[in-house]
Chain A
Amino acid sequence: MDWVWTHAGAIWALVLEHIGLCVPPIVLGFVISIPIGWWASRNAAVRSVLLTVGNILYTIPGLALVVLIPVILGVPLLNPVNIVVALTIYALAIMVRSAADAFASVPEGVQQSATAQGFSGAQRFLTVELPLAGPVLLAGIRVVSVSTISLATVGSLVGISSLGDLFTDGFQRNFLLEAVVGFVLVLVLAAVFDVLLSTAGRLLMPWTRGARLSSRAARTVAMPLAPAVRR
């Protein structure tokens, strides 16, 4: 274990680099998938085309994508943008489907009710559809987060620094501890991101907690009203 302590600084730097590689694709995947997913939820043809494209994209091997993107974008192979773009594509492949499901999950009655109350289209989208799509969007982004953190290690194969460096280096030097440390850190990082996301979800969507209490709460409140019910 001494190796870990003597290299703590370098390992920490890799953790930060790994985070730096993962955050932009997660955020971009989330933001871009929202308008696309909303569109797909309104139009069955769009939905089926987008989801098929998403599935195909997801089957492209990571390494192939990382090598292809520089050719398409004309950036150097070692530019981290390559990894960010590749990971964003994977994020979208997962997230567009989630977003389409999320917007489809918003009850039709609530949407009609909001329109009938006088919400404009934009107000309805921002203050009704988006928050109500929240729980399914959150489920999607949690999958994206875990998958992105794990996929980012592939960058090490083409020389872009991440926690994956610990695998490649460990295997090349036949130094198992280093690879194991990399493996554990990727897991820990994924877990930390997941906890952060689910906590943010609970804070931003307090009504999802309330629903679970519903039946008991309704009963206790209904009790004092009971005499009024009798005629």
Chain B
Amino acid sequence: MSIEFRSVSKTFDDGTTAVEDFSLTIPSHETTVLVGSSGCGKTTLLRMINRMVDPTSGSILIDGQDIAGVPPVGLRRSIGYVMQNSGLLPHRTVVDNVATVPMLTGVPKRKARTDALELLDRVGLDRGLANRYPAQLSGGQQQRVGVARGLAVDPNVLLMDEPFGAVDPIVRDELQRELLRLQRELGKTVVFVTHDIDEAFLLGNQVVILQRGGRIAQAGTPKEILANPADEFVADFIGAKRGKRALHAERVDGDRVLLVDAAGYAAGIVEAPGGRISVDDLALAEAGAGPKSRSVSNKTDQAGDA
């Protein structure tokens, strides 16, 4: 279930251009994170995948099929969608919220509910919450229900629009770990939108940093981007220059990159011929970090493991 954007542009009725000539291939069974500040078109791009927004020009292909010819309602039912503030139906109980889409597609109510209860287990929610209404849950619990609902039709593609943006940092951390665990188990094609670069590096196998108008500033694995920011914008965005990041790269010479943690200690050296760097190199470098290096434990590290 790879997703391909082919020179996609979107100009809204009011004349604003959200996305201009955007091309990207999103590989299957991996998490791709679109990250950027507000106004970079990331949500517009996400919504084009399930035809909530139709492109003005260009095309989007899922597994080689142009979705412009796929009826939107059916397309949306086959794609999981998780949004900020959960978007749960306030008048339906938790179990009915999760069972909603399967029931729309004709799954009998009883079976849809049984499946929904299993999904609650899967996302780490107590079945005792099944008959509550969304307003009776905490924000973190609502987001879990949102994820369970997104998985209810066992979609190949899961779209996540800043799903953890409105919960407090501790709960967000917990939900992020949960998503990594789920993704290890399920291997969906996840497209995740966020403005939080830490979240992007933690969750993404592929991270796409966007500038205004959906222009790709850099796309690559978290480690590629960290080791080799494409330009000033990326370096600034990932916070490398400001020393904000717990782990960042410092160029030693043309072929070698020094990774340094927030306190300025060397974490490892990576061979990067021609400035390019592979994940394998990085993993090796980290495994063999010298005795003077402090152990590296931060989100960037987990991203590589995910």
Any A CB within 8 A of the CB of B137: yes
Are the C-beta atoms of A112 and B136 separated by less than 8 Å?
no
Q: Which listed residue, B74, B100, B137, B170, touches A218 by the CB 8 Å rule?
A: B137
Contacts known (A116-B87, A118-B76, A123-B104); A210 close to B135, Cβ less than 8 A: yes
- Bound: A229/B129 CA distance, A: 18
Contacts known (A118-B104, A128-B89, A213-B136); A112 close to B52, Cβ less than 8 A: yes
Are the C-beta atoms of A113 and B88 separated by less than 8 Å?
yes
Are the C-beta atoms of A117 and B77 separated by less than 8 Å?
yes
- Bound: A115/B159 CA distance, A: 14
**Chain A residue at minimal CB-CB distance from B100:** A117
**Chain B residue at minimal CB-CB distance from A225:** B126
Specify which chain B residues have a CB less than 8 angstroms from the CB of A128 in the assembled complex: 89
Specify which chain B residues have a CB less than 8 angstroms from the CB of A118 in the assembled complex: 73-78, 101, 104-105
- Bound: A116/B153 CA distance, A: 13
Specify which chain B residues have a CB less than 8 angstroms from the CB of A114 in the assembled complex: 87, 89
Specify which chain A residues have a CB less than 8 angstroms from the CB of B129 in the assembled complex: 221
Q: Which listed residue, A112, A134, A205, A229, touches B87 by the CB 8 Å rule?
A: A112
Tell me which residues from 30 to 87 in chain A have a Cβ below 8 Å from any Cβ of chain B.
none
Closest-CB distance, B137 to chain A (whole angstroms): 6
Chain A to chain B: the 3 pairs with minimum beta-carbon distance, closest first: A113-B87, A118-B77, A118-B76
Cβ contacts A to B, 9 pairs, < 8 Å: A109-B85, A113-B83, A117-B81, A119-B73, A211-B90, A217-B132, A221-B132, A228-B174, A229-B171
Q: Which A residues lie at the B interface, using CB under 8 A?
A: 107, 109-110, 112-120, 123, 128, 131-132, 134, 205, 207, 210-211, 213-214, 217-218, 221-222, 224-225, 228-229, 231
Known: A109-B83, A118-B76, A214-B135. 20 other contacts (CB 8 A): A107-B90, A110-B88, A110-B89, A112-B83, A113-B87, A114-B87, A117-B101, A118-B74, A131-B91, A132-B91, A134-B91, A207-B92, A207-B133, A210-B133, A211-B90, A213-B136, A218-B141, A221-B132, A222-B141, A228-B174
Q: Which B residues lie at the A interface, using CB under 8 A?
A: 47, 50, 52, 73-78, 81, 83, 85-92, 100-101, 104-105, 124, 126, 128-129, 132-133, 135-138, 141, 149, 159, 170-171, 173-174
